[in-house]
Amino acid sequence: MAKTDTKAKALDRRGLTDEQLRQMFRNMLLQRQLDNRGFQLNRQGKVPFALGSEGHEALQAGAAMAFERGKDILAPYYRDLGLALGIGLTPYEIMLSIFARAADHNGGRQFPNHYSSKAAGLMSFSSILAAHIPHAVGAAYAIKYRGEAGRAVLVTCGDGTTSEGEWHESMNFAAVHKLPLVMLVENNEWAISTPLDKQMGQPEIWKRAAGYGMPGKRFNGFDPIETYEAVKEALDRARSGGGPSIIEGHCYRFLAHSTDDNDMTYRTKELVAEARKNDPVPAFEHRLIEAGVMNAADVEALRKDVLRETNEATDKAEAMPYPQASDLYTHLYEGAWQPWQ
C-alpha cells in the first residue's frame, strides 16, 4: 500500500484509519462489481431478477463502518447490498441469494436481494415497503426491555417508503419509548417512477424528526466519511440510552429501479448523466489517492481482486442445487403438519 506522502492533501478522515478507509473503498468497488454481475446474469437468463445499489455505494459503505458487529442489529431494505457486505456477508452469500439456491440463509425461498444472516445480525425482511420497520422497532424494544446496554438497531429505507403509515407509526412508537434505534433514510430521489416532489410536500425527510420529538440530521450520502460520522453519532446516542433519531443521506439511483424497470420511460439519459458527475466511487478513489492512502497501482490491484472474488462467488453459487419441492413448507409450520392434511 502507498506510504503517506508528506505532500499529500490532508483528508478530513473523522478518526478513520487508512485500513478502514481502504475497507470502505473496497466495499464500494465490490458493490459495483456485484451489481453489474446481477444485471449480466439476468440478461443471460440465469437469474429472474436483479437490483442495483449504484449511487448508494458511499452511503452504505460509510454506514456499515459505524455498525458494531456482534452487538448491533441491521434491519435493511432490498437496496442494501453494501450494508450487507460491510457488516460481514460474503459475495458468495450474496450470490446464493441472487441465484436462489438451497444453501442461501433463506433456503433459496426469499425474493433475490433479500439477504439475511443471524450470525451477522441481519434481520430477514419483506418486499412490502416499510413492513420491516415495526419489526426493527420491536427488536429495539426488546434490547431496551432486556437492559442490553451498548446495542442498537440500524433500520434503513428509501425516500418513497417514508410515505407509508407504518413508517410514521414506528417513528412515533420509537420516540415515545426512547428506543435504541436509528432510522437511516437513503434518499435517492426516486421511488421507481415517482420523483421526490410527487412523493412529499416537504422534501427534507430528516426535518420530520422534530415532529416526533427526536434528533434529525441530513448528510451527503455521496461522501462515505460524512456518512460514517452521521451514522456513528446516531448509533452512539442510541447505544448509550439517548433514544432514536432519523438521519437522511442524500444520494441518487443511477440504474433503473430493477431489471424489471425501464427508467427511460419516466426520466432522461441527460438527467442521469448529470447526477453521475457526482459518482461517489471515482470521487472517493480520487480523494484516497490525493491523500496518499492509496496509489493508482493499489487501486488497480484492488479492482482485480474484487473481480476475482466476484467471479469465484458467481461460479460457486451457480453450481449449487436449487431447493426441492419436498421442503416447500420447511420453517413455515411447526412439526410435520402439512396444510392440506
Ligand X SMILES: Cc1ncc(C[n+]2csc(CCOP(=O)(O)OP(=O)(O)O)c2C)c(N)n1
Q: What is the DSSP string of 223-271?
A: -HHHHHHHHHHHHHHHHTT---EEEEEE----S-SSTT--GGGTS-HHH
Produce one character per residue of 237-269: b if its CB has 16 or more CB atoms within 10 Å, e if not: bbbeeebbbbbbbbbbbbbbbbbeeebeeebee
Q: Is 253 in the site for ligand X (CB under 6 A)?
A: yes
Which of Mg ion, ligand X, none does 161 bind, CB closer than 5 to 8 A by kind? ligand X
In angstroms, what is the minimal distance from the CB of 261 to ligand X? 9
**183 binding ligand X? (CB under 6 A):** no
Based on the residue annotation, tell me whether 101 is a catalytic residue of this protein: no
Dihedral angle, C-alpha 220, 171, 232, 74, nearest 10 °: -100
Q: How far is the CB of 44 from ligand X (least distance, A)?
A: 24
Site for ligand X in 111-140 (CB under 6 A): 127-129
Work out what residue 125 binds among Mg ion, ligand X, none; the CB cut-off runs from 5 to 8 Å by kind: none
Q: Which does 154 bind (CB under 5 to 8 A by kind): ligand X, Mg ion, none?
A: none
Distance CA 128, CA 123 (A): 15
Binding window for ligand X (CB under 6 A); candidates: 1-9, 107-115, 133-141, 157-165: 157-165
Q: Is residue 53 part of the contact set for Mg ion (CB under 5 A)? A: no
Contact between 159 and Mg ion per CB under 5 A: yes
Q: Are 30 and 54 in contact (CB under 8 A)?
A: no
C-alpha distances out from residue 248 to 13, 184, 226, 240, Å? 20, 6, 12, 21
Report the distance separating Cα 222 and Cα 61, nearest Å: 10
Report the residue from 188, 227, 258, 259 that binds Mg ion according to the rule CB under 5 A: 188
Q: How far apart are CA 134 and CA 183, in angstroms?
A: 11
Residue 8 CB, nearest approach to ligand X (Å): 36
Q: Is 37 a residue that touches ligand X (CB under 6 A)?
A: no
Selection from Mg ion, ligand X, none that 127 binds (CB < 5 to 8 A by kind) is ligand X
The minimum distance between CB 115 and ligand X, in angstroms, equals 15
Residue of 31, 97, 188, 227 that binds ligand X (CB under 6 A): 188
Residues contacting residue 98 through CB under 8 Å, at least 6 positions apart: 38, 41, 47, 50, 112, 113, 317
The yes or no reply on residue 158 touching ligand X (CB under 6 A) is yes
257: annotated active-site residue? yes
For residue 253, is it left (φ>0), alpha (ψ between -120 and 50) or beta?
Answer: beta
Contacts of 105 (CB under 8 A, 6+ apart): 93, 96, 97, 115, 116, 117, 118
Residue 311 interacts with ligand X (CB under 6 A): yes or no: no
Residue 79 interacts with ligand X (CB under 6 A): yes or no: yes
To ligand X, the closest distance from the beta carbon of 193 in angstroms equals 9
Please choose which of Mg ion, ligand X, none residue 26 contacts, taking the beta carbon within 5 to 8 angstroms, the exact cut-off set by kind: none
Q: Does residue 190 interact with ligand X by CB under 6 A?
A: yes
Cα 59 from Cα 157, distance rounded (Å): 12
Q: Give, rounded to a whole angstrom, the gap between the first and last alpha carbons of the chain.
A: 63
CA distances in angstroms from 27 to 2, 91, 287, listed in the order given: 19, 11, 16
Active site residue 253: yes
The residue (of 33 and 156) whose beta carbon lies closer to ligand X is 156
Q: Which is nearer to Mg ion, 201 or 339 (CB)?
A: 201
State the catalytic residue, choosing from 13, 92, 266, 303. Answer: 266
Residues that bind Mg ion (CB under 5 A): 158-159, 188, 190-191
Residues that bind ligand X (CB under 6 A): 79, 127-129, 157-161, 188, 190-192, 253, 257
Residues acting as catalytic residues: 253, 257, 266
